[in-house]
Amino acid sequence: MKKREMYLNIENYIVMIGIYGLGNIGLSLLAYLNKKHNQKIIAFTNNPKNLGLTTIFSIDKIEHTLIKDKDFYITNNLEEFLALTRDIFITSITTYYEEIASKLIKAKNFNPKFHNIILFSSKLGGILVFKKIFNDNNIFDLNIIETDALFAARKIEENKIWVRGIKRWNLMITANKTMESNDNC
């Protein structure tokens, strides 16, 4: 099957969790989710070096080895990424949030009513950036939450991530009234 057909005919494929960005936190999240849920993850990257990854090793707090095509798939094609995902973890640094939000809005396979965006960084407040950009483009219903990254991690080789710590607590905020709840506080 041609690559274009693969992402345009998604009814034949299982929709995967997506990770946008493969830095320290993106690689840690990839290892964590795959190990915990044994689910194949798709990652989007702009870094050409990441496209060549065939094996990813995580050490210390998350001991795990991931094999390309079995455990993860990496693409630099945003349309393909969006066609194969529903839940998108944005793991880039917050200074790129405006650019990422703008790219999502322009993508033909992005559907704000279908896709769930999880801002997963070490800073809070990025949800306001996304909300402003989406509202400026007349998109008001947006499934988005923001949470603090769970990991203290460093890339020690191109394909090896050292997860030094995992937080046991977390904060979450949302810009979507239907996702808010005081019942679980």
pTM of the model: 0.84
Neighbours of 167 (CB within 10 A): 11
For the stretch 100-131, pLDDT in tens is 999 999 999 999 989 999 999 767 788 999 99
Q: State the burial class of residue 21 (Cβ atoms within 10 Å of its Cβ: 0-12, 13-18, 19+).
A: buried
Architecture category of domain 3-179 in CATH: 3-Layer(aba) Sandwich (3.40)
Q: Between the ranges 46-60, 117-131, 166-180, where is the mean pLDDT highest?
A: 46-60
pLDDT at 141 over 90: no
Per-residue pLDDT, 172: 73
* pLDDT value of residue 63: 93
For residue 16, give every residue at least 6 positions away whose Cβ sits within 8 Å of its Cβ, in sequence order, or none: 39, 40, 41, 42, 73, 84, 85
Annotated domain spans of the chain: 3-179
